[in-house]
Structure 1
Amino acid sequence: MTSTAATQLQSDFPMPPPTGRIDEARAEQLRAANINPRTGLATDYLNHFNEAIMLLEMVPDMPECAEDFLTWTPLSYAEHFWASNFKARDLAIEAYECADPKVRANFDHLTATMTSILTAVGKAMREAQQDRTRATLAEQATAWVKPLVALAGGIINGNAEVDVEAVMSN
């Protein structure tokens, strides 16, 4: 990369200072976009998982909703924002990429676990022959994923006390 290209890239996407602190103008820009300035993460990504939960919660009472859940597709953080109408999607992706590596690793671990659960449940639902089996799968998945969404929200909102490894081993 030429020095001119590097300079342009830095001006388009300024990196936070190495101390992890950001200036107040940058923090305000992130807050205005509903991105936590301390973590660089946006709760909007959790809507992706909440959509799957909502569909799963409907399955026991309306078995035909299982088909709607089966259309849910896993998306990474960046994929979610690229596919969304989120007004600050470029900023959300850039802030995620600049997030503290430990915070992002904990967050990514949780979201990968949620994705694995939802994908496995989708596979099992496709193989299930009875509505009651699908309803049981939906109820179990909801019970597993909902607390993980709450933990991911805690990480997004800067709860450094979340011990992802301890939660995942229980």
Structure 2
Amino acid sequence: MSATAQPSARDDRTTPQSTGLDPAARAAELKAANINPQTGLATDYLNHFNEAIMLLEMIPDMPECAEDFLQWAPLSYAEHFTASNFKARDLAIAAYESADPDIRAEFDQMTDTMTSILNEVSAAMRGAVQDTTKAKLAEEAIGWLKPLVAAAGGVINGGYGADVETILAA
């Protein structure tokens, strides 16, 4: 930064000035990469949770799928994109890091809750002996996770104000 430039309150974010793009070009770049230009978040991250849900959905009919579910491991937003083949993964990580802190906090609360649910269900499933117990755990988890994934998708797409406690109470 030059001696005459003063940091702004937004310098901790990827701004059009820091990327060399004007706001319209930056928005177009994000949109082309399937990243919401308003929130800076990508729905691709929800695939990480949808994978776990898909595995849980198979357990009641195929109890042996519990082993596949137990192989699932949580990944942060950045870890997910770093490990993915997402074409614009670096852009997705940068956009997340520069997202509005309130939006990101709301989104992170939801994804942290989903991760906690999956970790707890995984621990309980490891201790379960009966297939019926594993199936019940899977069904309960699905009932908690699906509304959270939908709400997180809403945050990604610009809907704010979802409350994790309200979602889980439904």
Equivalent residues of 1:16, 1:98 under 8 A apart: no
**Partner residue in 1 for 2:132:** 132
Equivalent residues of 1:39, 1:103 under 8 A apart: yes
In structure 1, the gaps of 5 or more residues are 4-12
Instruction: Classify 1:126/1:166 alpha carbon distance in 2 versus 1 (closer, same or farther; 3 Å).
Output: closer
Provide Cα deviations, 1:35-66, integer angstroms capped at 9, x if missing partner: 00000000000000000000000000000000
**Partner residue in 1 for 2:59:** 59
TM-score, length basis structure 1 = 0.86
Equivalent residues of 2:14, 2:95 under 8 A apart: no
The RMSD of aligned alpha carbons is 1.8
In structure 2, the gaps of 5 or more residues are 3-12
**Partner residue in 2 for 1:8:** none
How many residues were matched structurally? 155
Distance 1:31 1:148 in 2: 24
Instruction: Classify 1:109/1:25 alpha carbon distance in 2 versus 1 (closer, same or farther; 3 Å).
Output: same
Distance 1:133 1:157 in 2: 36
Distance 1:165 1:137 in 2: 20
Match for 1:34: what amino acid?
A: N
Match for 1:167: what amino acid?
A: T
**Partner residue in 1 for 2:86:** 86
Match for 2:116: what amino acid?
A: S
Shift of 1:169: 6.9
Match for 1:148: what amino acid?
A: L
Is residue 37 from structure 1 mapped to residue 37 from structure 2 by the alignment? yes
Distance 2:84 2:164 in 1: 30
